[in-house]
Chains A and B, each alone.
Chain A
Amino acid sequence: MRILLMGNPNVGKSALFSRMTGTRIIASNYPGTTVELTKGYLQLGEGQAEIIDVPGTYTLEATSKAEEVAVEMLKDGDVVIDVVDATNLERNLNLTLQLLERGVPVIVALNMWDDTHHRGINLDVAKLEELLGIPVVPTVGVTGQGVRELVSRLPEARAIESAHSSSDERWARIGNIVSQVQSLSHRHHTWYESLEDASNHPVGGIFIALLVLFATFWFIRFLGEGLIGYVTDPAFEWLWTPLLMKMSLALGSGGFWHDILIGRLINGEIDYFQSFGLLSTGLYIPLAAVLPYIVSFYLALGILEDVGYLPRLAVLMDSAMHRLGLHGYAIIPTILGLGCNVPAVMATRILESRRQRFIAVTLISIGVPCAALQAMIIGLVGQHGVQYVAMVYGSLFVSWVVIGLILNRIVRGFSPELLVEIPPYRLPPWRVVGEKLWLRIHGFIREALPIVLGAVLVVNVLYNLGVFDVIANIAAPVISGLLGLPKETIVALVVGFLRKDVAVGMLAPLALTAKQLVISSTVLAMFFPCVATFVVIARELGARYMLKATGIMIVAALIVGSLQNLIL
Chain B
Amino acid sequence: MPQNRRLTLVQMEAGQTGTVVQILGGLGLTRRLEAFGIRPGMRVTKISSMLLRGPVTLRVGSAQVAIGFGMASRALVQVDIST
Interface string of B20-32 (1 = CB under 8 A from A): 0000000000011
Contact in complex: A200, B62 (CB < 8 Å): no
Whether B57 sits at the interface, judged by CB under 8 Å, is: yes
CB distance from A177 to the nearest CB of B (A): 13
Given A58-B35, A121-B62, A167-B34, A418-B67 contact (CB < 8 Å): yes
Which residues of A are found within 8 Å of B39, using beta-carbon distances?
171
Contact in complex: B54, A421 (CB < 8 Å): no
CA distance A417 to B31 in the complex (A): 14
The residue on B at minimum CB distance from A323 is B52
Given A59-B35, A63-B35, A421-B63 contact (CB < 8 Å): yes
Which residues of A are found within 8 Å of B11, using beta-carbon distances?
none
Q: Which of B48, B66, B68, B70 contacts A201 (CB 8 A)?
A: B48
CA distance A49 to B65 in the complex (A): 36
Contact in complex: B55, A318 (CB < 8 Å): yes
CA distance A205 to B55 in the complex (A): 13
Contact in complex: A421, B53 (CB < 8 Å): no
Which residues of B are found within 8 Å of A200, using beta-carbon distances?
47-48, 57, 64
Which residues of A are found within 8 Å of B69, using beta-carbon distances?
319, 417
Which residues of B are found within 8 Å of A171, using beta-carbon distances?
34, 39, 41
Per the 8 Å Cβ criterion, residues 205-221 of A in contact with B are 205
Given A59-B35, A319-B51, A88-B62 contact (CB < 8 Å): yes
Contact in complex: A418, B61 (CB < 8 Å): no
Whether B60 sits at the interface, judged by CB under 8 Å, is: yes
Q: Which of A167, A315, A424 contacts B66 (CB 8 A)?
A: A315
Interface of A is mostly: helix
Contact in complex: B68, A202 (CB < 8 Å): no
Whether A568 sits at the interface, judged by CB under 8 Å, is: no
Contact in complex: A318, B68 (CB < 8 Å): yes
Whether A316 sits at the interface, judged by CB under 8 Å, is: yes
Given A197-B47, A319-B50, A91-B71 contact (CB < 8 Å): no
Which residues of B are found within 8 Å of A119, using beta-carbon distances?
62
Interface residues on A, range: 35 or more
CA distance A422 to B36 in the complex (A): 11
Which residues of B are found within 8 Å of A314, using beta-carbon distances?
66
Contact in complex: A87, B62 (CB < 8 Å): yes
CA distance A74 to B69 in the complex (A): 33
Contact in complex: A202, B35 (CB < 8 Å): no
Interface string of A3-29 (1 = CB under 8 A from B): 000000000000000000000000000
CA distance A422 to B60 in the complex (A): 11
Per the 8 Å Cβ criterion, residues 57-83 of B in contact with A are 57, 60-71
Whether A543 sits at the interface, judged by CB under 8 Å, is: no
Tally of contact residues, B, Cβ under 8 A: 31
Interface string of A167-206 (1 = CB under 8 A from B): 1000100010000000000000000000011001111010
CA distance A313 to B54 in the complex (A): 12
Q: Which of A91, A417, A422 contacts B70 (CB 8 A)?
A: A417
Q: Which of B51, B61, B68 contacts A91 (CB 8 A)?
A: B61
Which residues of B are found within 8 Å of A423, using beta-carbon distances?
64
CA distance A318 to B52 in the complex (A): 10
Contact in complex: A422, B67 (CB < 8 Å): no
Whether A487 sits at the interface, judged by CB under 8 Å, is: no
The residue on B at minimum CB distance from A184 is B62
CB distance from A100 to the nearest CB of B (A): 17
Which residues of A are found within 8 Å of B32, using beta-carbon distances?
63, 419
Contact in complex: B35, A94 (CB < 8 Å): yes
Interface string of A95-136 (1 = CB under 8 A from B): 000000000000000000000000101000000000000000
Whether A163 sits at the interface, judged by CB under 8 Å, is: no
Whether A258 sits at the interface, judged by CB under 8 Å, is: no
Contact in complex: A202, B49 (CB < 8 Å): yes
CB distance from B14 to the nearest CB of A (A): 9
Which residues of A are found within 8 Å of B55, using beta-carbon distances?
315, 318, 328, 417-418
Q: Which of A318, A419, A424 contacts B50 (CB 8 A)?
A: A318
CA distance A200 to B60 in the complex (A): 15
Whether A369 sits at the interface, judged by CB under 8 Å, is: no
Interface string of A42-68 (1 = CB under 8 A from B): 000000000000000011010100000
Which residues of A are found within 8 Å of B53, using beta-carbon distances?
319, 322
Which residues of B are found within 8 Å of A421, using beta-carbon distances?
36, 63-66
Whether A327 sits at the interface, judged by CB under 8 Å, is: yes
Q: Which of A87, A90, A315, A316 contacts B37 (CB 8 A)?
A: A90
Interface string of A420-450 (1 = CB under 8 A from B): 1111100000000000000000000000000
Which residues of A are found within 8 Å of B41, using beta-carbon distances?
171, 175
Residue numbers of B with Cβ under 8 A of A are 31-37, 39, 41, 47-55, 57, 60-71
Pairs across A and B, CB under 8 Å, 18 listed: A88-B63, A90-B37, A91-B36, A94-B37, A175-B41, A202-B48, A202-B51, A203-B51, A315-B54, A328-B66, A417-B71, A418-B55, A418-B68, A419-B32, A420-B65, A420-B66, A421-B36, A421-B64
19 additional contacts (CB under 8 A) given A327-B68, A422-B57: A59-B35, A63-B35, A87-B62, A90-B37, A94-B35, A119-B62, A175-B41, A200-B48, A200-B64, A315-B54, A316-B54, A417-B67, A417-B69, A417-B70, A418-B55, A419-B68, A420-B65, A421-B65, A423-B64
Residue numbers of A with Cβ under 8 A of B are 58-59, 61, 63, 87-91, 94, 119, 121, 167, 171, 175, 196-197, 200-203, 205, 311, 314-316, 318-319, 322, 327-328, 416-424
3 closest Cβ contacts across the A-B interface? A417-B68, A58-B35, A91-B37
